[in-house]
Amino acid sequence: MTPHNQAKKEDIAKIVIMPGDPLRAKYIVENFFDNYELVNEVRGMFAYTGTYKGKRLTVMASGMGMPSMGIYSYELFKFYDVDTIIRVGSCGAYDENVKLLETILVEGSYTLGNYAINLSNEDVHFVEANNEVNNEIVKVACDQDVKLRKANIACTECFDPYILDIDSIIKKFPEDKKIIGAEMESFALFYNAKVLNKKAACLLTVVDSILNKQSLSAKDRQESLNNMIKIALETCIKLT
């Protein structure tokens, strides 16, 4: 147990699916799991452990932003002996060629923030996902005939539609990273995995576009995530 998680160590599986929204965690187990049990509800950050096609998995929400993801993923890796976390979430597109509802497999996450400096006094702003997990995700997507866009993403500290001068922020991103959009959690997840010698990956569904000024409703966002969720779950079956 930790100050943020009432689950016992044995309540948490070795592989965790991690959406941001607690209600999305609930949605995943209710719609995809064979059986499940609520193992954490501290601060309303629901965690469920159960089985998907016979594989024991945990689904736990991370909350929004790097600080929240940082706490929950660090504790899962460090104190619950979790080996792998796959984030499933949403993102906004900065590239006009990226369409709504595309599924993004994040190869690397870049931040202008100082999460790494705060955690370990290391001036790092770009960190990559685990190649082994990403390779399995690609195989599963191919088997399911789901097209993935592999790309680097920005991990911002503000919800990008609220950023007053988004063009100035985008210009600060390294050109060689070819960043196509943004979300708010992946850097903290990937960096924690790097520091603790664990595995992390991130799948994202594009739900809005800054340049094309398009967005989905909350209901559409929820329903559009199913393909991504299935890919993550099927990948978990293949991971040891």
Q: What share of the chain is helix, strand, coil (3-state, %, to 5)?
A: 40, 30, 30
Q: How many CB atoms lie within 10 A of CB 143?
A: 11
DSSP three-state, residue 107: strand
Taking the CA of residue 61 as centre, how many other CA atoms within 13 Å lie in the half-sphere pointing to its CB? 22
Whether the CB-CB separation of 5 and 20 falls below 8 Å is answered with: no
* Cα–Cα distance for residue pair 45/159, rounded to 1 Å: 20
- Give whole-number Cα distances, 173 to 29, 64, 107, in Å: 37, 22, 16
Enzyme catalytic residues: 208
